[in-house]
Amino acid sequence: MNSYYLTTILALPVIGLIIIALLPRDNVKAIKFTALGFTLASFALSIAVFCLFDRSASAAGVMQFEENLPWIPAINCHYHLGVDGLSMPLVILMTFLGFLSVLISWKVQLRPREYFIWLLLLETSILGVFCSLDLVLFFLFWELELIPMYFLISIWGSGRKEYSSIKYVIYTLIGSAMMLAGILTVYFTTGSFNMLEIGGMLAIAAPVIPLAGMFFLLFIGFAIKLPMFPFHTWLPDAHTDAPTAVSVILAGALLKMGGYGMIRLCVSVLPDIARQAAPILAALAIIGVLYGAAVTMRQTDLKRLIAYSSVSHMGYVLLGIFALTEISLTGAALQMFSHGIITGLLFAMVGLVYEKTHERNLNVLGGLARQMPVIVAVFSIAGLASLGLPGTSGFAAEFITFIGSFSSTALPAAKIYTLLGVFGIVFTAGYILWMLQKVFYGPPKDKYKGVPDADNVEKVSIFCFVAVIMLVGIYPAILTNVIKLGIEPIMRLIGS
């Protein structure tokens, strides 16, 4: 029986943007509160769905809150939604970030009506990716995300915003074209777009070479979005020039579309090819971890520094996925959630520092701790969570990932890969502590006298981030008990 909880979660931001489009352009207060109300409603409903989620052993591998209606009968395409232990935390993550992104955007002055319309459409498109169980629906939501992201960066961004937005679109379209080719190959082989059925059909119907081709076509699209080295070069530009709230969603949820797609399609549907490709992809993961961390240490732009740190930390997700153990996949899924919260907070804090000082250059900033005690405290918490301080979600996610990858049988040199990955934390500690020292400590500078601290709206948004980081860090089972229900059936497919 269709419950339509997921459709409602997807529809609430759309209803909000329609109402905003009908409001007078100069009624900025109504526009903002409409966006806030509908994103909050979507988040509240996702929390309710999370609480109703069946955590019993019998629920392993079962899609819950499933909705399946005929859509395009001629090609056997369905409006098919559902969540399991893998996608449920990501739905929570996106609705949470969607709500907070409205608060972070509270002071937007340039064309606020259009801004919030695109922001709400971005939320719906990303949520659709995490909920879709039909490949056509999945691809449509995947492509829909491009439109609001392009306009949000090119209109409300800064610096080389047109260049960065076009670069993002070009990279993503290349990946999408390959993904579409992979989806069509799957369809012509199986006659189905159902993501729950195609794995078994492919195992019977397709020889090894076409399967490898399907894996490659799908994987490249996800690798660009993750982003995996060497397909990462769009990310620093997009992050640097995007408005703060868009950077929060980009780092917090949009990158997770890549990791989610790898697990949901590449590993679940084509497990044998995933096992064969695992050593190469794990090696690229470690290169990404170390390269991203090393380049991060060379940055002087505060926002670009955080952007490159995302390249490094998403390497842990790739390592966890292709270590192909139950623990490593659980760690990768938890790392996606944790990275979304921590890096989202880091970008929010960078936005606050820039808004107060109008400066992002680490060589110019300094001595701000006395002027903004709340900002320095929360920024420090976010930085320490990023380097994996025990008691934060960063530690829980990275520790589980390392434990799982260390014991992997899919990687001939699993222990070496893991030890190299752990070494990336040393780099992280170096650049995080150096960044905090450069921005907040040292002698106070006259030019920053009288710089204000976070106001009440800003405090609400950043304290919400901190609460989730500490909750998951102290009690990771709140998510891992759900995640494992999505990972267990994948492990049965992998056969280890």
Virtual torsion, Cα 467, 9, 40, 51, nearest 10 deg: -40
Each residue's pLDDT tens digit, 262-290: 999 999 988 989 999 999 999 999 999 99
Each residue's pLDDT tens digit, 345-365: 999 999 999 999 888 889 888
Return the amino acid letter for 295.
V
pLDDT at 2 over 70: no
Helix, strand or coil for residue 254?
Answer: helix
Residue 452: is the preceding peptide bond cis (ω within 30°)?
A: no
Tokens representing 140 are 């449509």
pLDDT at 211 over 90: no
Average pLDDT over residues 281-310: 91
pLDDT exceeding 90 applies to what percent of the chain? Answer: 68
Each residue's pLDDT tens digit, 155-205: 998 888 999 999 999 999 999 999 999 999 999 888 889 998 887 777 676
Tokens representing 420 are 């190299």
Average pLDDT over residues 138-154: 94
- Cα Dmax for the chain: 72
pLDDT at 206 over 70: no
Q: Give the per-residue pLDDT at 426.
A: 87
Q: Give the per-residue pLDDT at 116.
A: 96
Q: What's the CA angle centered on 465, arms 464 and 466, to 5 degrees?
A: 90
Q: Give the per-residue pLDDT at 205.
A: 65
How many CB atoms lie under 10 A from the CB of residue 280? 10
- As a whole number of angstroms, the distance between CA 255 and CA 412 comes to 28
pLDDT at 35 over 80: yes
Residue 208 pLDDT class (50, 70, 90 cuts): low
Lowest-pLDDT choice from 15-24, 33-42, 290-299: 290-299
Q: Give the per-residue pLDDT at 454.
A: 86
Please count the CA atoms within 13 angstroms of the CA of 228 that sit on its side-chain side: 23
Helix, strand or coil for residue 344?
Answer: helix
Q: Give the per-residue pLDDT at 118.
A: 96
Query: Residue 108 gets which letter from DSSP?
Result: -
Q: Give the per-residue pLDDT at 198.
A: 87
pLDDT at 1 over 60: no
Each residue's pLDDT tens digit, 37-46: 999 999 999 9
The mean pLDDT of the chain is 91
Q: Mapped to the 3 state alphabet, what secondary structure does 376-420 carry? A: HHHHHHHHHHHCCCCCCHHHHHHHHHHHHHHCCCCCCCHHHHHHH
Domain boundaries, the chain: 5-494
- As a whole number of angstroms, the distance between CA 331 and CA 96 comes to 21
Residue 207 pLDDT class (50, 70, 90 cuts): low
Q: Give the per-residue pLDDT at 153.
A: 94
Residue 409 pLDDT class (50, 70, 90 cuts): confident
Helices (H), 242-301: 244-249, 256-261, 268-269, 271-296
Closest CA to 91 of 42, 141, 139: 42
Each residue's pLDDT tens digit, 395-407: 999 999 999 999 8
Lowest-pLDDT choice from 320-324, 378-382, 452-456, 478-482: 452-456
Average pLDDT over residues 309-319: 92
This prediction has a pTM of 0.94
Q: Give the per-residue pLDDT at 78.
A: 94
Q: Give the per-residue pLDDT at 413.
A: 86
Virtual torsion, Cα 471, 477, 478, 484, nearest 10 deg: 140
**271-296 vs 302-323: helix crossing angle, rounded to 10:** 150
CB 235 within 8 A of CB 311: yes
Each residue's pLDDT tens digit, 229-247: 888 889 889 988 999 999 9
Return the amino acid letter for 223.
A
- What sign results for the dihedral spanned by CA atoms 148, 151, 157, 158? positive
- As a whole number of angstroms, the distance between CA 111 and CA 117 comes to 10
- As a whole number of angstroms, the distance between CA 90 and CA 337 comes to 7
User: What DSSP assignment string belongs to 430-447?
Assistant: HHHHHHHHHHH-SS--GG
pLDDT exceeding 70 applies to what percent of the chain? Answer: 98
CA distances from 311 to 59, 242, 253, 345 (A): 34, 17, 14, 16
Burial 403-434 (b: 16+ CB within 10 A, else e): ebbbebebbeebeebbebbbebbebbbebbee
CB 236 within 8 A of CB 304: yes
